[in-house]
């Protein structure tokens, strides 16, 4: 039986050159849609969950297109508020080999950034639901968005939902000091904290000592320390950390760890030839939520999440368009990539 899951955040229009071109040389741009919590919602819908995405979209054709995209992937959009002047945009330049990917934001004064307290009836939204997910991107959009994000997590806990949060620090949206102030308040209501190898340092000043994320190798023991410190700071039930070893912009090693306050679980490591790494962390979060909300063993939930997010990074676009059985096949060891007939 599917679970009822709510996510809250921004969906944006993504514009990217074709064929690994640089933006400066591009004549045509491919239009798709994506955003942290929207990506999580779409992924969970593909896993068979009943998912509701909460946001604010402008009352125009671009807002319609974004909502239609979500609905087309099976996400419920009946809690979306329509208003504001514009949809946020981001431009993505895909990297290759030794050239890194780059992102340019054009999202100031977007509809969701101008959301106000009282826009959403959170008690009604959360009635009968099982899980709520948010990221650190949403409160970074504006002081108003931060206020509404705090209202949301508080209401979710009051209504008995499990709450997950991906720290997702974005330096182009706010400072580390601003992030720490807001996120310290928000994580008081969070049960499952998700981070990558840099988020804990950027938001809370918790660093994996002597570990250089640009070197291509990570010291797992150092990240166990990070997970432990995060768990104590946030008083969370679980802390998950994704571990990306960037060999180049085209090839990464990908794994994760999960800590429950007593045991550290470290996943299988995948070598991935990247097609599109954007949304990798979101797809990990969705996979982990899917396992946990269905009361899987922690090890199984972790391995499913890592396999799902590994698959996402072979798919163009922000969103992970894979089914549960496909992920389980990878998690069980079938990474041959042979044609299935």
70-129 pLDDT per residue, tens:
999 999 999 999 999 999 999 999 999 999 999 999 999 999 999 999 999 999 999 999
* pLDDT for res 286: 98
Q: Is the pLDDT of residue 213 over 60?
A: no
37 found inside a domain: yes
Asked whether residue 235 is assigned to any structural domain, the reply reads: yes
pLDDT of residue 162: 98
Give the up-direction half-sphere exposure of residue 39: CA atoms within 13 A in the CB hemisphere: 31
- For the chain, report the end-to-end CA distance as a whole number of angstroms: 30
* Contact between residue 134 and residue 7 where contact means Cβ atoms under 8 Å apart: yes
Mean pLDDT over each residue of the chain, to the nearest integer: 94
Compute the average pLDDT of residues 58-65.
98
CA–CA separation, 223 vs 66, rounded Å? 37
3-state secondary structure 172-191: CCCCHHHHHHHHHHHHHHCC
Provide CB contacts within 8 A for 27, sequence distance 6+: none
CA distance 181 to 167: 13
Q: Is residue 340 part of a domain?
A: no
Mean pLDDT, residues 331-339 taken together: 86
Q: Does residue 327 form part of some domain?
A: yes
Beta bridge partners, 272, equal 252
Domain that holds residue 51: 4-331
pLDDT in tens, 216-252: 667 788 888 899 999 998 999 999 999 999 999 999 9
Is residue 153's pLDDT more than 90?
yes
Q: What is the DSSP letter of 59?
A: S
What is the rounded CA–CA span in Å between residue 155 and residue 134? 13
Does 336 reside within a domain?
no
Q: Could you give the number of structural domains in the chain?
A: 1
Q: What is the CATH number of the domain that holds 281?
A: 3.40.1190.20
Residue 237 covered by a domain: yes
Helices (H), 129-249: 137-140, 143-158, 176-186, 199-204, 220-234
Which residues of 159-318 form beta strands (DSSP E)?
162-166, 192-195, 238-246, 251-259, 264-266, 270-273
- Is residue 341 situated within a structural domain? no
Looking at residue 296, the DSSP 8-state letter turns out to be -
Under 8 Å CB-to-CB from 82, ≥6 apart: which residues?
A: 56, 57, 58, 59, 63
Residue 103 lies in a domain: yes
Task: Determine the pLDDT at residue 73.
Answer: 98
């Amino acid at each position: 039986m599917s679970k009822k899951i709510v996510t809250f955040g921004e969906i944006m229009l993504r514009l990217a050159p074709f064929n690994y071109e640089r933006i400066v040389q591009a004549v045509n741009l491919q239009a798709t849609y994506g955003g942290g919590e929207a990506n999580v919602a779409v992924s969970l819908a593909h896993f068979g969950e009943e998912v509701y995405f909460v946001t604010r979209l402008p009352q125009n054709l671009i807002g319609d297109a974004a909502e239609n995209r979500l609905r087309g992937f099976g996400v419920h959009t009946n809690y979306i508020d329509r208003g504001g002047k514009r949809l946020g945009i981001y431009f993505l330049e895909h990297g290759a080999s030794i050239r890194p990917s780059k992102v340019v934001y054009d999202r100031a004064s977007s509809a969701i950034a101008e959301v106000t307290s009282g826009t959403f009836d959170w008690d009604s939204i959360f009635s009968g639901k099982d899980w709520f997910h948010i990221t650190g991107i949403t409160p970074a959009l504006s002081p108003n968005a931060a206020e509404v994000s705090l209202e949301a997590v508080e209401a979710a806990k009051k209504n008995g939902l499990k709450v997950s949060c991906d720290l997702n620090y974005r330096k182009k949206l706010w400072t580390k000091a601003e992030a720490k102030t807001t996120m310290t308040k928000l994580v008081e209501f969070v049960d499952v904290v998700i981070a990558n190898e840099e988020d804990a340092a950027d938001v809370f000043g918790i660093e994996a000592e002597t570990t250089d994320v640009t070197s291509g190798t990570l010291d797992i023991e150092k990240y166990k320390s990070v997970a432990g410190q995060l768990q104590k700071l946030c008083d969370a039930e679980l802390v998950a950390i994704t571990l990306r070893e960037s060999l180049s912009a085209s090839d990464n090693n990908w794994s994760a760890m999960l800590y429950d306050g007593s045991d550290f679980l470290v996943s299988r490591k995948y070598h991935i030839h990247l097609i599109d790494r954007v949304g990798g962390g979101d797809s990990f979060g969705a996979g982990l939520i899917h396992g946990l909300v269905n009361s899987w063993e922690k090890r199984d939930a972790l391995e499913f999440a890592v396999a799902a997010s590994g698959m996402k990074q072979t798919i163009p676009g922000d969103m992970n368009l894979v089914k549960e059985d496909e992920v389980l096949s990878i998690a069980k060891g079938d990474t041959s990539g042979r044609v299935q007939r």
